[in-house]
Amino acid sequence: MSDDRKKLPTESNDAEIAEFLNRAAALAPLHGGTGKGRLIFALDATASREPTWDQACDIQAEMFSATAELGTLAVQLAYYRGFREFHATQFETDSQGLLDRMVRVRCLSGRTQIAKVLRHALAETAREKVNAVVFVGDCCEEDVDELGHMAGELGLHGVPVFMFHEGGEPGAARIFRQIAKLSGGAYCRFDAGSAKLLRELLSAVAVYAVGGRPALEHYHQRAGREVLRLPRPTRR
């Protein structure tokens, strides 16, 4: 890993965060919530992500906590690492069970496998509806057209992909933005100084996956502020 890859900015880009909030909010009218949600939490577990893996463990626990009063959030952990190694757990409704699996994972050097994540999400939602995909990663070494095609397929199936980009490498940012846009999801860059913001955004996504727009509005009331600004529903 180069020195540049090790260095993270100390502040998030406010414009990018605002864009994420607006795009994520636009998803809220799409469903009213069922009290059940299925969310795929996908992670890059290659060597460059090792310093922030523990942070990812903490975040997934908070996703469960945010939805505890709404109903059932089933989360599947998916990750890639090493040489063509890809793993996906069963959908878990127990935060501790998923956390136990995550803490046993060790990052290994290798190329990115985002295509496998998207292909897997398509297969899962074909079996049973997936409400959202969250991806956390820092780079991309794959064909943008292939990724774009699968992201578009997810969009047609109503599965938004929320791309959380660690560090902001420009080439990856361009591809991550396209995946988010084509799937109907959103992109947000985060850095070493924005862990609290990342937790809040992921919690809001989890709340949306379980309860839709009404649950997000209640989430804002409890937080005392709007985490996601909700536009008025539009007719199509």
Is the residue at 41 inside a domain?
A: yes
Is the residue at 234 inside a domain?
A: no
Return the structure tokens found at 214: 């009404």
Helix axes 170-183, 144-156, angle to 10 degrees: 30
Is the residue at 225 inside a domain?
A: no
Query: In which residue are the tokens 């880009």 written?
Result: 13
Is the residue at 84 inside a domain?
A: yes
Q: Which ranges constitute the DSSP H helices of the chain? A: 3-6, 14-25, 53-66, 95-103, 114-127, 144-156, 170-183, 195-223
The pairing of beta strand 85-88 with beta strand 132-137: unpaired
Q: What total number of domains does the chain contain?
A: 1
Residue 79's beta-bridge partner residues? 43, 87
Is the residue at 47 inside a domain?
A: yes
Q: For 5, what's the count of Cα atoms within 13 Å in the CB-facing half-sphere?
A: 15
Range of the domain at 73: 12-212
Is the pTM higher than 0.85? The answer reads no
**Residue partners of 87: CB distance under 8 A and separation at least 6:** 78, 79, 80
CA distance 119 to 223: 35
Is the residue at 151 inside a domain?
A: yes
Per-residue model confidence (pLDDT) at position 105:
77
Is the residue at 1 inside a domain?
A: no
Per-residue model confidence (pLDDT) at position 66:
56
Per-residue model confidence (pLDDT) at position 200:
74
From first to last of the 236 residues of the chain, give the pLDDT tens digit: 344 333 333 344 555 555 555 555 555 434 444 557 888 989 888 877 776 666 666 665 565 555 555 557 788 889 999 899 999 999 988 777 777 777 777 788 889 999 999 999 999 999 999 988 989 888 999 999 999 999 999 999 989 898 888 887 899 999 999 999 899 888 888 765 666 666 777 777 777 777 776 777 777 777 776 554 433 443 43
We report the CATH number of the domain holding residue 76 as 3.40.50.410
Three-class SS of residue 186?
strand
Is the residue at 115 inside a domain?
A: yes
